[in-house]
Amino acid sequence: MVGYGHIVALNDSESSPVHTAGLELQQGIAGIFGKDCNVSHGKWRGASSTDSVAVVGTVGQFQSSGGDIKQLPQLEEDGFWLEVNSSATYILGQNERGALYGAFEYLSMLAQGNMTQVSYASNPDAPIRWINQWDNLQAGGTHGSVERGYGGPSIFFANGSVKDDLSRAAQYARLLASIKVNAVVVNNVNANESMLTDPIMDGLGRIADVFRPYGVQLGMSLYFASPLALGDLETFDPLNASVIEWWHNKTDDIYRRIPDFAGYLVKANSEGQPGPLTYNRTLADGANLFAKAIQPHGGVVMFRAFVYDSTNLNESHWREDRANAAVDFFDGLDGKFDDNVIIQIKYGPIDFQVREPTSPLFAHLQQTNSAIELQISQEYLGQQCHLVYLPPLWKTVLDFDLRVDHQPSLVRNIISGDRFKRPLGGYAGVANVGTNQTWLGSHLAMSNLYTFGRLAWDPTTDPVSMLLDWTRLTFGLDPSVLQTIVDMSMESWPNYENYTGNLGIQTLTDILYGHYGPNPASQDDNPWGQWTRADADTIGMDRTIENGTRNAGQYPSEVASMYDNIDTTPDNLLLWFHHVPYTQRLKSGTTVIQHFYDAHYNGSARAQTYAPRWQALEGKIDEQRFNEQLFRLVYQAGHSLVWRDAINNFYFNKSQIPDEAGRVENHPYRIEAESMELDGYELYAVSPFHVASNKTCIV
Ligand code: BDP
């Protein structure tokens, strides 16, 4: 019932999420209905005190105010009860954060025109619903000050310090609370010891202060060698007594500043980051070092499974195939991690590619907590210059059944803790937002951040229904706007896969530099023994058990035999698991090479339709967003052609097998820029080659 004149928020402390919830309800109702409501913060005196009321608070606060709700079901941590009846609205959280989530959910209903009476409880599927930011203290990381960030510089850091003005950080916390995210790790996994200096820890305390009213906790990435790097000790051996004491003291220092600090995120022994293997200690020794220091404070350690390093391991197995690394490195460690450690596992065995099988490590950790790492920032997926709506990709992993011990073992039920009865687990989303007005660098990319939160709360949510909600909340209720955005978004990931890399060959994106644009040659020409193994006659990585890299054998037996056998491997992962002739017939009846040609033509043709479909919405979307998104979609149309021709030509040149439709060998319609008559322009040789045809562009 929206007609109330009064909102009661059952806590009057300004840093409390319940206090925030009162203000959000007031602001939201004013925004949606143009109606002013009073808010009183503190105790509720019962329904008789006013005839129409919305009450928000925790169940405990409500009951101690004398309130009584019949049939209140069991609420889990962060869960809430929402009841909208003819005279009142009750939003009651299991904790304060849950109450705020309930307020946002209620506002989301109203903003979408849903005025129905409801009465339900909502509980999270998993306790860990974290965002990871890869922000550097200093500008000058891979992409300015946010690694793999495409939305401008950091909202937290500038010039080696925490920013003075944290208003944008507060807005971020607000945004994340509205999608039920409960913590943010604010700095890059490629961490820096300076995070643990007093001025930075003081600054982190200020960030935590602006997060707190939204129920968002702060976490930090650690540099494993900090005791040595800061010059305090001569070692960072995790079993050394002074190292242990050092980390305990630092952890106490952090909690003195941030009593609700969420925990640490650790990237160890990977891509140049030091770790326990440096001292012949196990990854569990490394993780438990931090777990023990943080346990008395109630914090957790997110320890990343993205480990590939040459130290101290049966090197050849993972070097021959990086997809083997995570399971190899964690082999024998299940059950050795403390209970407040969560192993954070990228969705696939390699690295955020357009199509990967589920990481087999999810099946190996049965006495260890695990979480999935998803990448909202579209590093390999068009970097926000391409529209790619990610939930359909994420769902291929979350809904995958690993059949551990021949029992149903969906990834989402493993990470929620249900399958192996683990106390902790969940979701980490690499968002990398920046100061750009759009946060991520593109208007439509924000659907990925929104739906990350929705899936982390309930991974069974349908990708279309979440997208509809997001579109209504973002662009309003016009049916043609809804239809166009939903249609384009839903086809965007399969299309991107079509015009980039097919059949499980991965994105074929440049792997050595920016991870953007086509560079299929770089897939094999790199130090990690990857990936496509393409020659004149054959293509694909043999990951079978007998003759290949044995990667298929890392899966539980039912899944292993499916992938080990070419006949039961789905087409979309054929080249991930098998090395085949270009003439190999797919289940669809076509050959591998012809599928490549067709997919690239079809996918890029589809991408040509986005801009005109968007243009048809002119006048229904405000001018700024209309124009900015149009610019991106026009660019995507052009870049999809670059992709199409680069990949098709590359494999045509290798295989010399013509396209049955005769499109690849000759481009009758295409005029190379450098063969045109140039007036006022000059030819310019470019590297890497893929950015221009014939390695030449005009300037
Ligand atoms: C790769 C990114 C790199 C990250 C790394 C990671 O290119 O910037 O540091 O993943 O996840 O995909 O640690």
* Distance from residue 362's CA to the centre of ligand 1 (Å): 20
Instruction: Give Cβ neighbours of residue 295 (< 8 Å, ≥ 6 apart).
Output: 338, 340
Of 14, 202, 271, 537, catalytic: 271
Q: Is residue 347 very low, low, confident or very high in pLDDT (cuts 50, 70, 90)?
A: very high
Better pLDDT: 283 or 526: 283
ipTM value for the complex: 0.98
Ligand 1 centre distance from Cα of residue 631 (Å): 28
Residue 483 confidence (pLDDT) above 50 = yes
Tell me which of 145, 146, 379, 432 to substitute to probe ligand 1's pocket, judged by most ligand atoms within 8 Å of the beta carbon: 379
Question: Is 499 close to ligand 1, i.e. is its CB under 6 Å away?
Answer: no
Cβ–ligand 1 contact at 143 (below 6 Å) = no
Letter for the amino acid at 121?
A
Q: What residue ranges do the domains of the chain occupy?
A: 6-122, 128-474, 521-541+579-655, 669-699
Whether residue 351 lies in the annotated active site? yes
Is residue 151 a contact partner of residue 440, using CB atoms and an 8 Å limit?
Answer: yes
In ligand 1, the atom with minimum distance to the C-alpha of 267 is 13
CB of 325 closer than 8 Å to CB of 280? no
Average pLDDT over residues 659-678: 76
Pocket-testing residue among 190, 309, 383, 513, ligand 1, by greatest number of atoms within 8 A of Cβ: 190
Place of tokens 């209970």: 339
How far away, in angstroms, is 437 Cα from ligand 1 center? 25
Q: Residue of the nearest CA to atom 9 in ligand 1?
A: 190
Residue 198 carries which side chain, given as an amino acid letter?
A: D
By the 8 A CB rule, do 59 and 82 touch?
no
pLDDT band at residue 513, thresholds of 50, 70 and 90?
Answer: confident
- Mean pLDDT within 160-168: 95
CB of residue 322 inside a 6 A radius of ligand 1? no
In residues, how long is the chain?
Answer: 699
Q: What is the pLDDT of residue 633?
A: 98
Q: Can you tell me which atom of ligand 1 is nearest the CA of 380?
A: 12
659 is catalytic: no
Neighbours of 616 (CB within 10 A): 12
Q: DSSP letters along 469-530, please?
A: HHHHHHH-S-HHHHHHHHHHHHHHHHHHHHHS--TTS---B-SSSSS-SB-THHHHSSTT--
Quote the distance between the C-alpha of residue 417 and its chain's center: 20
**Measured from the CB, is residue 373 less than 6 Å from ligand 1?**
no
End-to-end CA distance of the chain: 63
CA distances from 49 to 53, 83, 540 (A): 9, 19, 72
Structure tokens given for 27? 């602001």
Task: Give pLDDT, residue 69.
Answer: 76
Is 128-474 CATH 3.20.20.80? yes
Look at residue 698 in the predicted model and tell me its pLDDT. 73
Q: Among the atoms of ligand 1, which is closest to the Cα of residue 346?
A: 11
- Index of the ligand 1 atom closest to the CA of residue 190: 9
CA distance 487 to 34: 32
DSSP string covering 355-367, please? S-PPPTHHHH-SS
Range from 195-209, 447-461, 519-533 carrying the lowest mean pLDDT: 519-533
pLDDT tens-digit profile of 535-569? 999 999 999 999 999 999 999 999 999 999 999 99
Q: Is the pLDDT at 312 greater than 70, yes or no?
A: no
Question: Which atom of ligand 1 lies at the shortest distance from residue 148's CA?
Answer: 8
Nearest to 5 by CA among 31, 29, 41: 29
**Greater pLDDT, 592 or 697:** 592
From the CA of 214, how far away is ligand 1's center (Å)? 29
- Percentage of the chain exceeding pLDDT 70: 93
Ligand 1, atom 10, residue with closest C-alpha: 351
Task: Give the per-residue pLDDT at 144.
Answer: 47
Q: Does residue 37 sit in helix, strand or coil?
A: coil
In the prediction, which pLDDT does 448 show? 98
Cα angle 96, 97, 98; round to 5 = 90
Q: Name the one residue in this structure whose structure tokens are 């014939």.
A: 694
Residue environment code for 586-599, b if the CB has 16+ CB neighbours within 10 A, otherwise e: beeebbbbbbbbbb
Percent share of the chain, pLDDT over 90: 81
pLDDT at residue 311 above 60? no
Q: Report the separation in Å between the CA atom of 337 and the middle of ligand 1, taken as the mean of its atom positions.
A: 24
pLDDT > 50? residue 158 = yes
How far away, in angstroms, is 293 Cα from ligand 1 center?
27
> Which 8-state DSSP code applies to residue 657?
P
Q: Is 190 in the pocket of ligand 1 (CB under 6 A)?
A: yes
Average the pLDDT over each of 95-99, 232-236, 311-315 and give the range with the smallest value: 311-315
pLDDT digits over 55-88, tens only? 999 999 999 888 877 777 889 999 999 999 988 9
Mean pLDDT of 98-121: 96
Q: Mean of the pLDDT values across residues 330-353?
A: 97
Average of per-residue pLDDT values in the chain: 92
- Model confidence band, residue 528 (pLDDT cutoffs 50, 70, 90): low
* pTM given for the model: 0.94
Q: Which residue has the tokens 């384009």?
A: 488
pLDDT beyond 60 at 143: no
Place of tokens 């033509």: 601
Q: How far is the CA of 91 from the centre of ligand 1 (A)?
A: 40
The per-residue pLDDT for 680 is: 79
Whether residue 386 has its Cβ less than 6 Å from ligand 1: no
The residue written with tokens 């006949």 in the block is 567
Q: What is the 3-state secondary structure of 547-572? A: CCCCHHHHCCHHHHHHHHCCCCCCHH
Q: How many whole angstroms from its chain centre is CA 611?
A: 26
Does residue 195 carry a pLDDT above 60?
yes
Beta bridge partners of 118: 84
Q: Is 379 an annotated catalytic residue?
A: yes
Mutate which of 147, 221, 344, 513 for ligand 1 pocket (most atoms within 8 A of beta carbon): 147
Res 533 pLDDT > 90: no
Query: CB of 21 closer than 6 A to ligand 1?
Result: no
Q: Is the CB of 267 under 6 A from ligand 1?
A: yes
Whole-Å CA distances, 360 to 423, 431, 547? 21, 24, 19
User: Which of 351, 373, 564, 659 is an active site residue?
Assistant: 351
Q: What is the reported pLDDT for 669?
A: 57
Q: Which residue has the higher pLDDT, 625 or 44?
A: 625
- 3-state helix, strand, coil split of the chain in percent (to 5) is 40, 15, 45
Nearest CA to ligand 1 atom 2: 148
Distance 188 CA to ligand 1 centre (A): 10
DSSP 439: S
Pocket of ligand 1 contains residue 294 by CB under 6 Å: no
Question: Quick check: 467 pLDDT over 90?
Answer: yes
Closest-lying ligand 1 atom to the alpha carbon of residue 189:
13
Q: Cβ–Cβ contacts within 10 Å for residue 295, how many?
A: 17
Catalytic option among 135, 309, 379, 491: 379
pLDDT number for residue 643: 95
Residue 137 and residue 200 in contact, taking contact as beta carbons nearer than 8 Å: yes
Q: In sequence order, what are the residues at sequence separation of 6 or more whose Cβ sits closer than 8 angstroms to the Cβ of residue 120?
A: 81, 82, 83
Residue whose CA is closest, atom 11 of ligand 1? 306
Q: What's the rounded Cα separation, in Å, for the pair 506 and 497? A: 8
Nearest-atom index, ligand 1, CA of 351? 12
Across the range 174-194, mean pLDDT stands at 97
Question: Between 3.30.2130.30, 3.30.379.10, 3.30.465.10, 3.40.50.620, what CATH number should domain 6-122 receive?
Answer: 3.30.379.10
**Two tokens at 330?**
């964690």
Residue 330 has pLDDT above 50, yes or no: yes
Q: What angle do CA 303, 140, 276 make, to 5 degrees?
A: 25
pLDDT at residue 141 greater than cutoff 60 = no
Give pLDDT, residue 140: 55
Angstrom distance (rounded) from CA 149 to CA 176: 17
pLDDT at 317: 60
Instruction: Over range 123-152, report the average pLDDT.
Output: 86
What is the pLDDT at residue 316?
Answer: 58
What is the pLDDT, as a whole number, of residue 65?
86
Q: What are the backbone angles phi and psi of residue 624, rounded to the nearest 5°?
A: -65, -50
CB of residue 306 inside a 6 A radius of ligand 1:
yes
DSSP string across 206-221: HHHHHHGGGTPEEEEE
pLDDT score at 322: 87
Nearest-atom number in ligand 1 for the CA of 430 is: 11
CA 641 to chain centre: 27
Above 60 in pLDDT, residue 215? yes
Q: How far apart are CA 154 and CA 145, in angstroms?
A: 6
The CATH homologous superfamily for domain 521-541+579-655 is Alpha-glucuronidase, C-terminal domain (3.90.1330.10)
Task: Say which residue, 209 or 680, is predicted with more confidence.
Answer: 209
